[in-house]
């Protein structure tokens, strides 16, 4: 078996505001595994590295990919325990290869076109008028779960956005989630939580920065709004450490990004630990291209995830690669009559 690597720069159609700044582009790496005697049949995956968030995103990242390439050629295992995004991509490529290189990673009713995945409508950070416009677009498109990234503008303006929803829709009609990306501190988080609770917000992701389990545990215990952990899961590699973290913090939910929390296998372990502690969960993408998002959607459907998931990022990029997944309103669907654009894939700058 052999492996090839193709770096790729995804470009945003519109700048995407986050608590870490404004994104206009994002690097990713496609990988394929194949038999040297039949290279036209290959399994495809995406190593969706996230600079500023992925612990492995440094100058050594490509060297790790080259190490993997060399080890696969000689049949030697590679330690990817601290390289979630590469684990994520390799698991995709191997599953695709095993099924004949047809882009069917996790066959199910979803890939047969017989079911769909409900997703939340994501409102990116920006100026108030920009966020309001994005919010209105999601409402008009029929989304019943809206996720608003907060922490970029004044909190009073962010409350106005949420209030504009509650003035028209009950919590039963439209669910509101907010994502703080660790943007608050112990000095200001509790007044924020009180205001959010008054507006019947479903949950808040990562209200304070990751890295202090005792403080986060206190926030979870005292918060009138259910708390979901996101960044807190990143960089926790050992199963015992994962269990200890969730036992200490006891959040209401955890947010699973397989490219950031150990690939599909690592995410599955997080789910098993969470369910043993009666902690809820849902799946969110991490700015993958349609290649990674396609595999992630198939996995999400296969494991039976319940409720709205966070899988709608594919339309952000101007130079995406087409796959069978598509959005219809708040439903992510799969068209079995379509396939991954293998022509575009073949034209990538592959390194062997």
For residues 207 and 130, give the distance between their C-alpha atoms in angstroms, rounded to a whole number: 23
Q: What is the pLDDT of residue 18?
A: 65
- Do residues 186 and 157 make contact, with C-beta atoms less than 8 angstroms apart? no
Helix (H) or strand (E) holding 335: none
Which sign, positive or negative, has the C-alpha torsion 242, 248, 249, 251?
A: positive
Q: What is the pLDDT of residue 131?
A: 92
For residues 277 and 12, give the distance between their C-alpha atoms in angstroms, rounded to a whole number: 39
The three-class DSSP label of residue 296 is helix
- Do residues 249 and 216 make contact, with C-beta atoms less than 8 angstroms apart? yes
For residues 159 and 157, give the distance between their C-alpha atoms in angstroms, rounded to a whole number: 5
Phi, psi of 3 (to 5 degrees): -135, 145
pLDDT tens profile 295-306:
999 999 999 999
Catalytic residue among 32, 64, 149, 243: 149
Compute the residue count for the chain. 352
Q: Angle, nearest 10°, between helix axes 239-249 and 213-222?
A: 40
Q: What is the pLDDT of residue 17?
A: 67
Query: Homologous superfamily of 2-101+342-346 in CATH?
Result: Enolase-like, N-terminal domain (3.30.390.10)
Catalytic residue among 194, 257, 306, 351: 257
Q: What is the pLDDT of residue 4?
A: 98
For residue 257, indicate whether it is catalytic: yes
**Across the strands, what pairs with 28?**
8
For residues 135 and 120, give the distance between their C-alpha atoms in angstroms, rounded to a whole number: 12
Query: Alpha-carbon Rg of the chain, whole angstroms?
Result: 20
Q: Specify burial of residue 199 (Cβ count, 10 A radius: 0-12, 13-18, 19+).
A: middle
Beta carbons within 8 Å of 144's beta carbon, 6+ residues apart: 118, 173, 174, 175, 308, 330
- Alpha helix stretches (DSSP H) within 27-150: 61-74, 84-98, 128-140
DSSP assignment string, 45-78: EEE---TTT-TT-STTHHHHHHHHHHHHHHT---
Phi, psi of 137 (to 5 degrees): -65, -40
For residues 69 and 73, give the distance between their C-alpha atoms in angstroms, rounded to a whole number: 6
Q: What is the pLDDT of residue 19?
A: 59
Angstrom distances, CA of residue 150 to CA of 16, 93, 137: 13, 35, 18
Whether the pTM exceeds 0.85: the reply is yes
For residue 243, indicate whether it is catalytic: no
Q: What is the pLDDT along the chain (352 residues), one digit of tens a residue?
A: 999 999 999 999 988 766 567 889 999 999 999 999 999 999 999 999 999 889 999 999 999 999 999 999 999 999 999 999 999 999 999 999 999 999 999 999 999 999 999 999 999 888 899 999 999 999 999 999 999 999 878 999 999 999 999 999 999 999 999 999 999 999 999 999 999 999 999 999 999 999 999 999 999 999 999 999 999 999 999 999 999 999 999 999 999 999 999 999 999 999 999 999 999 999 999 999 999 999 999 999 999 999 999 997 778 899 999 999 999 999 999 999 999 999 999 999 999 9
For domain 117-334, the CATH class is: alpha beta
The token pair at 258 is 């397989």
For residues 294 and 314, give the distance between their C-alpha atoms in angstroms, rounded to a whole number: 9
Say which residue the tokens 């899988």 belong to.
311
In the chain, list all ranges with CATH 3.20.20.120: 117-334
For residues 163 and 276, give the distance between their C-alpha atoms in angstroms, rounded to a whole number: 36
Q: What is the pLDDT of residue 52?
A: 87
pLDDT tens profile 136-155:
999 999 999 999 999 878 99
The token pair at 90 is 């390799």
In the chain, list all ranges with CATH 3.30.390.10: 2-101+342-346
């Amino acid at each position: 078996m052999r492996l090839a690597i193709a770096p790729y720069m995804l470009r945003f159609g519109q700048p995407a505001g986050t608590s870490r700044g404004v994104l206009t582009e994002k690097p990713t790496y496609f990988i394929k595994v194949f038999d040297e005697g039949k290279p036209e049949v290959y399994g495809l995956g995406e190593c969706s590295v996230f600079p500023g968030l992925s612990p492995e995103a440094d100058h050594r990242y490509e060297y790790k990919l080259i190490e993997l390439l060399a080890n696969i050629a000689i049949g030697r295992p590679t330690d990817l325990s601290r390289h979630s995004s590469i684990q994520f991509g390799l698991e995709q490529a191997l599953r695709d290869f095993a099924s004949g290189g047809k882009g069917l990673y996790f066959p199910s009713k979803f890939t047969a076109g017989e079911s769909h995945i409900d997703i939340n409508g994501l409102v990116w950070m920006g100026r108030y008028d920009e966020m309001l416009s994005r919010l209105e677009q999601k409402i008009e498109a029929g989304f019943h779960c809206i996720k608003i990234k907060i922490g970029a503008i004044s909190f009073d303006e962010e409350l106005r956005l949420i209030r504009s929803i509650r003035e028209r829709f009950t919590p039963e009609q439209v669910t509101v989630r907010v994502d703080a990306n660790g943007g608050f501190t112990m000095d200001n988080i509790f007044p924020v939580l009180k205001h959010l609770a008054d507006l019947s917000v479903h949950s808040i992701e990562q209200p304070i920065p990751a890295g202090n389990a005792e403080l986060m545990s206190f926030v979870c215990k005292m918060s009138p709004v259910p708390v979901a952990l996101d960044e807190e899961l990143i960089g926790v590699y050992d199963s015992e450490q994962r269990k200890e973290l969730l036992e200490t913090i006891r959040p209401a939910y955890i947010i699973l990004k397989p490219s950031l929390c150990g690939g599909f296998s690592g995410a599955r372990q997080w789910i098993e630990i969470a369910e043993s502690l009666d902690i809820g969960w849902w799946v969110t993408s991490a700015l993958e291209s349609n290649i990674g998002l396609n595999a992630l959607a198939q996995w999400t459907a296969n494991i039976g995830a319940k409720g709205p998931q966070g899988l709608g990022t594919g339309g952000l990029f101007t130079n995406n690669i087409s796959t069978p997944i598509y959005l219809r309103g708040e439903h992510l669907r799969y068209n079995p009559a379509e396939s991954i654009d293998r022509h575009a894939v073949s034209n990538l700058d592959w390194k062997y």
